[in-house]
Each structure stands twice: as structure tokens, then as C-alpha cells.
Amino acid sequence: MNAKKMKPCFITFEGGEGAGKTTLIHHLVEDLKQLDYEVVSTREPGGSSLGNTIRQWLLNQQKEVIAPKAELLLFLAGRAQHLEELILPSLTKGKIVLCDRFNDSTIAYQGFARGLGFEQVQQLCQFVSANVVPDLTIYLDIDPHIGLARTKKTTKENAGAGIVDRIEAEHIDFHQLVREGFFKLIKQNPNRYSVIDANLPVEVVLHQARAVIDRLLDNL
């Protein structure tokens, strides 16, 4: 069966640690492919050889301390390559691109929580992404205490002994600021964002996400 022909569609998924973005995207990819859509699933940092290397640098706790500005620029370097190598070519071919984190994470984490400047980081993200804006952003909202507990439980279940990455290991106050940063972005972009309570059962979260994506695809 041939894949459906449609306009390109760029959907991003945002949220704090342990919100369940990875699980949600996995289910959505399966559902959309069953409906004969061409779907590309990717994440940040990642999506390219360079992006995956940068991911290891940024998240590995065993590496040297990374200064906030250096951290920001590494995320942006990975995004520039990601866009050039995967996202833009996929959109040019009319595919649906589902991306785990994009500019909004950088603005919330580095701009707001790290204190590098909300508006300043927004401007840098716009420059790096050539003003590419998602058609839809699904934000999975969760209290940082609950999300971080989920993350530790998951790593233990995956034989990781509960070891979290460098960002997850930040103090709870940092993660509270990240959440505040996201809500500031949601207030700025109410038409682009769809907020879903990540405390709900997985099947309910999936149902709500599918509903908002279906509406978007119908309009396209």
C-alpha cells in the first residue's frame, strides 16, 4: 500500500524529565504508520552522527564540567546538523517528523533555568533553525519530583542501577525552573501548544495526543 501524500508536518514533543515523551512517540509512530503515513522519528540532541556524539558529551556525568554557555552552543550545533541532515530533507519529501525536544527545550533549560536569557536564547534558536517552527508542540506536563522518580525507576529496570544523566542529576530547583520556562513558552504560543497531563495512564495520554494530531493532519 502506498504511503499517503500530504503536506510536510513537523511535530515536537516537550516536557521535563520522566514525562513519557519517548513512550508516547513510539506508540504514535506505530499508529501513524498503520494509517500509511510516512513518519520519521528523531530526538535532540541526536538525529545525526555529530548530534549523537554531542549527546554523549552533554549527558555523560563522567565527562568534564561543561559551562552553561558551552552547553548551549553544543545543543545548537547539534540542532544545526540535525536540521540540515534529517529534519529539512524529511519535510521536503512531505513526511511527518516527530521530534523529541527542539528549540523550546533549549529555551526552557538553558535560557530560563540556566539563566542565560529567555529572549536571547530564543533569538539564537531562531537563527540556528532558520525560523523553522513546529506545526504542533505536545507538552507533557509532570511535577519534577514525580518525573525524576520515574526516571530513576526506569534506569534501574533497564539494569542502569538508577544512574541518571547529567541533566537529570540537576537539583530539583533547576527542574522546577525548567517547568516554569515551558509554561512561559506555552503562554507565548497557545495556538501551537497542546498540554497533556503526563500523570494520566499511558493509553489516555496516547488517546489525547492522537486526537490533537488527527485534527492537525485533517487540516493539512
Which superfamily does 9-219 belong to? P-loop containing nucleotide triphosphate hydrolases (3.40.50.300)
Label residue 100 by pLDDT band (50, 70, 90).
very high
**Each residue of 165-191: pLDDT tens digit?**
889 989 999 999 999 999 999 999 999
In whole angstroms, what is the distance from residue 80 CA to residue 24 CA?
A: 25
- Cα separation, 203 vs 174, in Å, equals 30
Sign of the alpha-carbon dihedral angle for 203, 205, 211, 217: negative
pTM: 0.93
Query: How far lies 81's CA from each of 12, 84, 87, 101, 218, in Å?
Result: 17, 5, 9, 15, 31
Domain boundaries, the chain: 9-219
Per-residue model confidence as pLDDT tens digits over 30-81: 999 999 999 999 999 999 999 999 999 888 866 678 999 999 999 999 999 9
Residue 59 C-alpha cell reads as: 549527558
Average pLDDT score over the chain: 92
Residue 168's contacts (CB-CB under 8 Å, 6 or more residues apart) are 17, 148, 151
